[in-house]
Amino acid sequence: MSNKYPIVNSFNEWDSLEEVIVGSVVGAAKMAFESSISAYFPDKSTRNLKGSRFDEEEIQKAENQLNQLAKILEKENIIVKRPAKHDFYKKIKTPNFEIPCGNSTACPRDVLLVIGNTIIEAPMAQRARFFEYLGYRPLIKEYFKKGAFWMTAPKPSMSDELYNSEYSIVNKPFDADTHPSLTEYEPCFDAASFVRFGKDIFYQPDLVTNDFGAEWLSRYLGSDYRIHRVRFADNHPPQHLDTTLVPIRPGLVLANPERPCIDNTLDLFEKNKWKIVKAPPSIRGVEQHSPEVSNWISMNVFCIDEERVIVEEEEEPMIKLLESLDCKVITCPFGDVYKFGGGFHCCTSDIRRKGRLKSYFPSLD
């Protein structure tokens, strides 16, 4: 490791990657129904998920693809770490709720928000993910001992007051301003609800992130950072921005044409000379995925640096688009991982990139 950068160092999604956490599905469980996912089940008669184990064959196929991703990254001279093994098929009980089982460590991007030399454990809103951080604690303690900063956001109680349990977007698009899925009872966010552009960080309130959570993050980070609340129209339950607004390198960002921006966010990009490119949808139909995985999973790519981008091997339209934008595309099979909640960006958390804090929107300086 170069002495030039701290052990934990990451400010954006594109600086040259040196170390990363890749997720694992070993010990994964299928979530039971809970209030935080009610939007996926507008028909109450379908809310009968009891929680269960995944078939061992499903786990092995997905883990093999995650292992292949890890090998690809190591071949590119990147240090890869993996979460600790954890059995998520165990009952979770707190003073405020009780559920049959947890989730998995497939998606470290959801749990860990890396800002500069600090790892922030996100205050997640889904009860099944209450103890998900435990899979990453051995790694976080290791980074802390080597000089990184470690912060845990206020752990939410996840009591009933946090959720609008009858929330649905049936016959109406998502609108966090008039019909939020979460209340502002306590701060909540998934780390993947934020997209980092150096000094500027963008988020949209969604099924797992509220404005209270973004306000906590803004105050914690202080004046060195600008947190932007953005709005995109969405006819499906929204969760995370990494299939909506995806930076590839400074000056180039992919946008989801099915989710038009309904505020002035894209004007800000244009004013600062960013090229906004419409992304192609996934070649897979959404019916092949779990409710948490978007038909725009094609956008869930992972940038190793400003040139190299990892893309699912079957997503030919996305591969061709990125190549036309002068990217060096590295392909990897990942379809078996999707049912566990995400693509390449979801299933990684960059720990160290070569880079410093910069502003990429000079009109705001």
Q: Give the neighbor-by-neighbor strand order of the sheet with 226-229.
A: 194-197, 200-203, 226-229
pLDDT confidence band for 47 (50 / 70 / 90) = confident
pLDDT confidence tier of residue 167, bands split at 50, 70 and 90:
confident
Q: Which residues contact 221 (CB under 8 A, 6 or more apart)?
A: 115, 201, 227
Amino acid at 142: E
- The answer to whether the beta carbons of residues 185 and 179 sit under 8 Å apart is no
347 counts as catalytic: no
Nearest to 305 by CA among 283, 272, 322, 327: 327
Q: Is the pLDDT of residue 286 over 80?
A: no
Q: Terminus-to-terminus CA distance in the chain, angstroms?
A: 33
Query: Which CATH code is given to the segment(s) 16-356?
Result: 3.75.10.10
Radius of gyration of the chain, Cα coordinates, nearest whole angstrom: 19
Where are the domains positioned within the chain?
16-356
For the ranges 40-54, 187-201, 216-230, 297-311, the lowest mean pLDDT is seen at 40-54
pLDDT at position 41: 79
Marked catalytic residue, from 240, 332, 336, 350: 240
The tokens describing 288, both together, are: 């092949």
Per residue in 101-136, pLDDT (tens digit) is 999 999 999 999 999 999 999 999 999 999 999 999
Mean pLDDT of 184-201: 98
Distance CA 286, CA 181 (A): 22
Helix or strand or coil: residue 70?
Answer: helix
pLDDT score for 238: 79
Q: Give me the catalytic one of 188, 327, 346, 347.
A: 346
What's the pLDDT at 151?
98
Selection from 2-11, 199-208, 283-292 with the highest mean pLDDT: 199-208
pLDDT at res. 293: 60
Q: Is the pLDDT of residue 363 over 50?
A: yes
What mean pLDDT is reported for the chain?
93
Query: Please, which pLDDT band fits residue 289 given cuts at 50, 70 and 90?
Result: very low
Tell me the average pLDDT across 9-30: 98
* Rounded CA separation 267/24 (Å): 38
Closest by CA position to 101, among listed 132, 63, 122: 132
Determine the residue type at 164: N
Mean pLDDT of 38-54: 84
203 has which bridge partners?
194, 229
Q: What percent of the chain has pLDDT over 70?
A: 95
Query: Given pLDDT bands bounded at 50, 70 and 90, which one contains residue 171?
Result: low
Task: Evaluate if residue 291 carries a pLDDT over 60.
Answer: no
Catalytic annotation on 107?
A: no
Strand partners, 303: 309
Among all chains, which residue has been given the structure tokens 């947890």? 102
Over the stretch 235-273, which tens digit does the pLDDT of each residue have? 777 789 999 999 999 999 999 999 999 999 999 999 999
pTM exceeding 0.75: yes
* Residue 288 confidence class, pLDDT cut points 50, 70, 90: very low
Q: Is-contact 203 229, C-beta < 8 A? A: yes
Question: In the annotation, is 190 catalytic?
Answer: yes
Active-site annotation holder among 15, 110, 190, 350: 190
Q: 349 or 40: which carries more pLDDT confidence? A: 349
